[in-house]
Amino acid sequence: MKRILITGAAGFLGSHLCDRFIKEGFFVIGMDNFITGDFKNIKHLENHPCFEFIEYDVTEYITIQNNLDYILHFASPASPIDYLKIPIQTLKVGSLGTHNLLGLAKAKKARLLIASTSEVYGDPLVHPQTEDYYGNVNTIGPRGVYDEAKRFQESITMAYHRFHGLETRIARIFNTYGPRMRLNDGRVIPAFIGQALRGEDLTVFGDGLQTRSFCYVDDQVEAIYRLLLSDYVNPVNIGNPDEITIKDFAEEIINLTQANQKIIYKALPIDDPLQRQPDISLAKELLNWSPKVNRKEGMQKTFNYFKNFSQEELFKSDH
């Protein structure tokens, strides 16, 4: 049985990846320090014979008993609100955490896939974004802590590949959504759905003409699975190219939730990218993959998850 370590296992993407790799017959070791995650995302795996959980901060030296075949490094705050709140931890998990995991992968002769991000492109001047674009990041801006940690993560990963011959993979993940996102993590989808369910107006930042392209979690997980098992080393964009303005998206959510709310406008956060759309030609060709779940279907599934929340959960303040 192949053994895989998944960091960030109690988070949104990490928990779905645990499910998928167990389903594929792997023994999964989940690791998380719960800084933005929640045990409830993996509670269903608690007594699974192919799952073990280790509560641990990956910025500390990591020891794993026995062999490891694969590592997925998904630990990192991922929402702008989270990484503005915990900037130093964000920098550390992308840098020191990645270094520890590379060292572990080298010691175990394991293959490591890192969760990079469309944020390596910053506020992009090339649209849609292709993997050969170097990006436009404000290193010293408030978002820089995440963007630069992820850029460093890519660099050190390539260095371990080149210098030590380590088997590495880099997924540049674009906005992904679905069940198990944290209602109060500040990302636009849980933010709008939470507002709709609480009867509040939807807060669009700026003029709402900035764009994003949202990928449903099942499609993302499928691509990560294929990328890990592929033999391609350079970064690969993974996302859904279906682009929409945030204002139009707020209107879609109002229709979906049949809420009576209106849209209100708030200031655009500093360095908020004005446009984002992945060019996924490479992923299509390499992985024989393309997203299958359209926004209507994916948003309905996501809304179904959140609409079962109790009043207490809906109004609970966050971490």
According to DSSP H, which parts of 165-288 are helical?
A: 188-198, 217-229, 246-257, 281-287
Q: What are the strands, taking DSSP E only, across the chain?
A: 3-7, 27-32, 51-55, 70-73, 111-117, 168-173, 176-177, 202-205, 211-213, 215-216, 236-238, 243-245, 263-266
Q: How far is the CB of 269 from ligand UDP (least distance, A)?
A: 6
Q: How far is CA 63 from CA 31, 169, 181, 298, in A?
A: 12, 22, 29, 38
* Interacting partner of 29 out of ligand UDP, ligand NAD, none (Cβ under 5 to 8 A depending on kind): none
Minimum Å distance from CB 282 to ligand NAD?
A: 17
**What secondary structure letter does DSSP report for 155?**
H
- Find which of ligand UDP, ligand NAD, none residue 221 binds, CB within 5 to 8 Å per kind: none
Applying CB under 6 A, the residues found at the interface with ligand UDP are: 79-80, 175, 186-188, 191, 203-205, 210, 212, 246, 268-269, 272
The CB-of-258 to ligand NAD minimum distance in angstroms stands at 26
Nearer to ligand NAD, 34 or 199 (CB): 34
Cα–Cα distances in Å, from 208 out to 259, 273, 301?
19, 12, 24
Nearer to ligand NAD, 22 or 120 (CB): 120
Which residues on adjacent β-strands are paired with residue 172?
116, 237
CA atoms in the 13 A half-sphere facing the CB of 235: 28
Distant-in-sequence, close-in-space partners of 189: CB < 8 Å, separation ≥ 6: 177, 181, 214, 299, 302
Residue 262 CB, nearest distance to ligand NAD (Å)? 27
Minimum distance, C-beta of residue 246 to ligand NAD, in the bound complex (Å): 15
End-to-end CA distance of the chain: 37
149 vs 259, which CB is nearer to ligand NAD? 149
The residue (of 168 and 275) whose beta carbon lies closer to ligand UDP is 275
Please choose which of ligand UDP, ligand NAD, none residue 97 contacts, taking the beta carbon within 5 to 8 angstroms, the exact cut-off set by kind.
Answer: ligand NAD
As annotated, the active-site residues are 146
Nearer to ligand UDP, 141 or 269 (CB): 269
Instruction: Identify what 204 binds: ligand NAD, ligand UDP, none; CB under 5 to 8 Å per kind.
Output: ligand UDP
- Residues contributing to the site for ligand NAD (CB under 6 A): 7-8, 10-14, 32-37, 57-59, 74-78, 93, 97, 115, 117, 173, 175-176
